[in-house]
Amino acid sequence: MATINNNYRKLAAGYLFPEIGRRTRIFQSENPHAKLLRLGIGNTTEALTPGIIDGLLRGVKKLSDVSTYTGYGDEQGNSALRKGLAEFYAKRGVTISPDDFFVSDGAKPDSGNIQSIFGYDNIVAVQDPAYPVYVDTNVIFGRSGEFNSATGKYSRFVYMKCTEENGFFPSVPKEKVDLIYLCSPNNPTGAVAAREQLKSFVDYALANKAVIIFDASYSEYIADPELPRSIYEIDGAEKCAIEINSFSKFAGFTGVRLGWTIVPEELSVEDSSPGEVRTMWFRRQTTFFNGASNIVQEGGLAVLSDAGLQECRELIGYYMQNASIIREGLESIGLKVYGGDNAPYLWLRTPGGLSSWEFFDKLLEETWVIGTPGSGFGPAGEGYFRLSAFGHRNDIQAAVENIIQRLTLDNQEKL
Ligand SMILES: *Cc1c(COP(=O)(O)O)cnc(C)c1O
C-alpha cells in the first residue's frame, strides 16, 4: 500500500503566483483593451550576449566531432569551469579551492536540495520575508510543524524579521537555531547585507555550530564596492557557511540553467569531522543528479572570460537602469521605495496603509501594472509590494508613466 509524503499537505497552498494569475485573468477579461505591464516576476528578458552565444555554440560543436565529444562529465562539474569559478572569487580576494565547487543546474535546485544533508530535527531560521523555496523545502522534508494561517508562520521555524528599522536585514536569532538561510542581495526586498551584519551571523554560527546557507544569486548586481558579494569575504565563514550562486541573473541563464554551490572542506557541524559535509553533498549530487549540460558549461566558461564578464556587466547595467527608472518614477509621486540600487528589485511601502493585495488590485486596475504582493514572501512582507526591474525598457517606461499619471494617491496617503 503506497502512501504519500504527508508533509506536502502541510504546505500553505502555493498561493502567490497562481493568485496573481487568477486576478490578472479576471481583470483582462473584463478589460480586454488594457495593455498589461508585468513587473511581477523575477525572470530575465534580454537576449544572451554574443560572446556567451559563441561559448554555447562551441559546446554544441564539440559534440559533433568524436575527438572532442564528451558524455557524462566530471562529477562536480567541468574542471575548467570550477577552476574558472575559483579564479573569479580569487579576483575578489576570496580563496576557494576548485574542489569545493559543485556545478549544478541552478541555485533554486541547490537551495532546495542542500537541506537534505542535515538532520531532521535541525531548527531552521529564515529571513521574513524570503524567497519561498527555503521554507517550502524544509516543510516537505518534515522540519516544520503546522502552518498557522492567522500568523502566516509554520511552527518550529524561526522567522527573522526584516523591517524598515533594521534596513531589511535581520539581527541574529535570540534562540539557538541550526540552519540559517540568508539571501543577499535579497529577493524580495532588494536589501544587501553589510559586512558587519554578515559578520554577526558568521560569529553566531561559529558559536552555535550552526550552518549558514547563503544565497548569493544577485551578487553581480552589487554596485557598491563596500558591500560583500560572497559570505567568504567574512573571516571564519569557510567553517560555517555554504554559498549558492547562479548564472541565471548574472548572465541571463534563467532558461539555460547553470549554477554552483560551494561547500568548503573546512565546514563542519556538531557531529561531523571537517570534510564530511562536503563529501555528503558530493554523495547527494552524484546519487540524485548527473551534472549540468556540457553545452551549458561551455557557456558558463564564456561568461567567466574577460569579454564575457564585460558583456554581463552591460546586461546587468541595463536592468539596473530599469531599476533607477522605476525608483525615480515612484519617488516622484511620493511613494516610499527601498532596494533597486544594488539589486534588481524595488520594495515599496504600500501607500495609505493598504494591504499588499489591496495595493495589487489598485495598481492593476488603475495603471495596468502587475507587481507582487509582499505578503506572499512571509508575514513581515505585509504592507509592502515588490516590483522587478527585469523587463524591456519600453515596458518599464510605460509602466512607470502609467503609475505616475494614473495611480490615485490622496495627499494624506503619501508617505
Ligand atoms: C532567481 C533566484 C534563484 C533561482 O536561480 P536558478 O539558478 O535560476 O535556479 C535562486 N535564489 C533566488 C533568491 C532567486 O531570486
In 3D, which of 67, 85, 124 has the Cα closest to residue 300?
Answer: 85
Q: Is the CB of 105 under 6 A from ligand 1?
A: no
Nearest atom, ligand 1, residue 109 CA? 9
pLDDT at 12: 80
pLDDT of 415 strictly over 60: no
Predicted confidence at residue 413, as pLDDT, reads: 54
- What is the predicted pLDDT for the residue at 410? 78
CB of 118 closer than 8 Å to CB of 87: no
Ligand 1 atom, smallest distance to 246 CA: 7
Q: Confirm or reject: Cβ of 170 under 6 Å from ligand 1.
A: no
Name residue 411's amino acid.
N
Q: What is the pLDDT of residue 41?
A: 85
DSSP string, 60-78: HHHTTSTTT--SS--TTS-
Q: In testing the pocket of ligand 1, which one of 192, 249, 372 has its CB within 8 Å of the most ligand atoms?
A: 249
Positive or negative, the CA dihedral 192, 196, 200, 203 is positive
Residue bearing the CA closest to ligand 1, atom 15:
187
| Residues near 239 by beta carbon (within 8 Å), at least 6 away in sequence | 206, 264, 266, 267, 268
The answer to whether 144 touches 10, Cβ cutoff 8 Å, is yes
- What pLDDT, in 10s, does the model give residues 333-354? 999 999 999 999 999 999 999 9
Query: Does 344 sit in the ligand 1 pocket, CB within 6 Å?
Result: no
**DSSP label at residue 129:** S
The model's pLDDT over 295-314, given as tens digits with 9 standing for 90+, comes to: 999 999 999 999 999 999 99
Q: Binning pLDDT at 50, 70 and 90, where does residue 412 land? A: low
Render pLDDT for 113-131 as a digit per residue (tens, 0 to 9): 999 999 999 999 999 999 9
Q: Which atom belonging to ligand 1 lies closest to the Cα atom of 110?
A: 9
The residue nearest atom 5 of ligand 1, judged by CA position, is: 107
Domains, the chain, ranges and CATH? 13-48+308-405 (3.90.1150.10), 68-294 (3.40.640.10)
The answer on pLDDT for 190 being more than 80 is yes
pLDDT of residue 376: 94
Q: Can you tell me the distance from the alpha carbon of 212 to that of 231, in angstroms, rounded to the nearest whole number?
A: 9
Summarize pLDDT for 154-169 with one digit per residue, the tens.
Answer: 999 999 999 999 999 9
Band (331; pLDDT cuts 50, 70, 90): very high
- Please tell me if the CB atom of residue 246 comes closer than 6 angstroms to any atom of ligand 1: yes
> Taking a C-beta distance cutoff of 8 angstroms, is the pair 349, 336 a contact?
yes
368: three-class secondary structure by DSSP: coil
| Distance between Cα 393 and ligand 1 center (Å) | 22
Residue 112 beta carbon below 6 angstroms from any ligand 1 atom: no
pLDDT tens per residue, range 65-113: 999 999 999 999 999 999 999 999 999 999 999 999 999 999 999 999 9
Task: Assess whether the C-beta atom of 131 lies below 6 angstroms from ligand 1.
Answer: yes
Backbone angles phi, psi at 370, to 5 degrees: -105, 125
Minimum CA distance residue for ligand 1 atom 12: 217
Closest CA to 385 of 330, 332, 320, 316: 330
Return the pLDDT at 361: 98
Determine the distance separating the centroid of ligand 1 and the alpha carbon of 379, expressed in angstroms: 21
pLDDT (tens digit per residue) in 5-37: 999 999 987 678 889 999 999 999 999 999 999
Q: Which residue's CA is minimally distant from atom 1 of ligand 1? A: 42
Residue 182 Cβ < 6 Å to ligand 1: no
Omega before 228 within 30 of 0, i.e. cis: no
Contacts within 8 Å (CB) and 24+ apart, 269-274: 269/118, 269/209, 269/211, 270/209
Give the per-residue pLDDT at 295: 98
**For the CA of 108, the nearest atom of ligand 1:** 9
